[in-house]
Structure 1
Amino acid sequence: MAYETPQLPYSLDALEPYVNTMTMDCHYNGHHKAYVNNLNKALADYPDLAAKSPEELIRDLASVPEKIRTAVRNNGGGHVNHSMFWKMMAPRVGGAPSGKLHEVLKSTFGSFAEFQGKFEAAGLARFGSGWVWLVRNPAGALEVMSTPNQDCPLMERSYPLLGCDVWEHAYYLKYQFRRGDWLKAFWNLVNWPEIEHRFEASGA
């Protein structure tokens, strides 16, 4: 079975005013679908690889033939990243996490506000295109990290809890060159129940 773009859990206009409808349409129907189509094309002659989940593929890129490895890295990573990203956002959410995740963020970063500042700084520091993440690292600790292009923390054995896309296509139609404004607006969209679920599933 070919990979498919997952259905959005909300309408294209649901994240207004923080993500406008045109951005969502281009991002989801343009960019994400292109990653899926290009991944399927790259794996067309490799049915054994195509039978794996996209997460399995990008966790073990060394097992992918060199001829298609870059295509699988870029497009498989793009598919995985965006499939998570849509669920990490929701309309009428934001605020702060609760329970154990909130306590661990405070103990790790000093406060929730300090975590937010570190997350935004890492997103601003990413040169060119990429992502900023809150992950559980291989040692089991929470960490803010950034990845280039469509690389995913899974490629580095870290488990992504929260991610923000800082490619220009994620924000330019609304915020132009003001990436910092996009990162601040993103907090209004964070689906903390989903992030808390990922935190618990990662071994909390």
Structure 2
Amino acid sequence: MNFKDKLKAGVILDNPVFMQLIGLCPTLATTTSLQNALGMGVAATIVLICSNVVISALRKFIPDKVRIAAFITIIATFVTMIDLLLQAFIPSLAASLGLFLPLIVVNCIILGRAEAYASKNKVLPSALDGVVMGLGFMFALVLMGFFRELLGGGTILSGIVNGVSGIAVPFFNSNPMVMMILPAGGFLMMGFIFAAIQKIMAGKEDK
């Protein structure tokens, strides 16, 4: 499978959130704004790529009985590095993501790819797997974050990093549906997206 096919599978056909239904906790919790979604998506993707590479490189040296503990230790190392970097350079984003940043350690997507792919394949394919699955996760977060912020606040990219109030969108800005940035709004938006995906897939099957 070439890179184009892998990218299509990771982002669309085998999307970890919309197709595999894993990683839903950070997806629902951190998508109250587009900038939060981007921050979590980038952080998780970096951790996924780096942990896949290290686990793949050490796969022949890690005893089978302690492999899960070893994987979590490796993942936790990279999560701690990302957390400290964000606290040092973008403290407002780190504060906004809160507990969900260190909880990347137990994200089902990252641990799942380590067990299912990186521990069984060479370094380069494992790195590529991390890239495409990370982009798929980020795509889901960004899609959720964009629509929740637009509908719930009437803005796009409300400032977390730069303190900017965000780009106001006419009509939406004057009639915000505040519920969309509340916990219930996350479930509603995910339901709408699932319904749209099912409609599109059903249309393709009919053709």
TM-score by length of 2: 0.28
Relative to its length, the structure with more strand (as a share) is 1
TM-score by length of 1: 0.29
- Bigger CA radius of gyration: 2
**Structure number with higher relative contact order (C-alpha < 8 Å, ≥ 6 residues apart):** 2
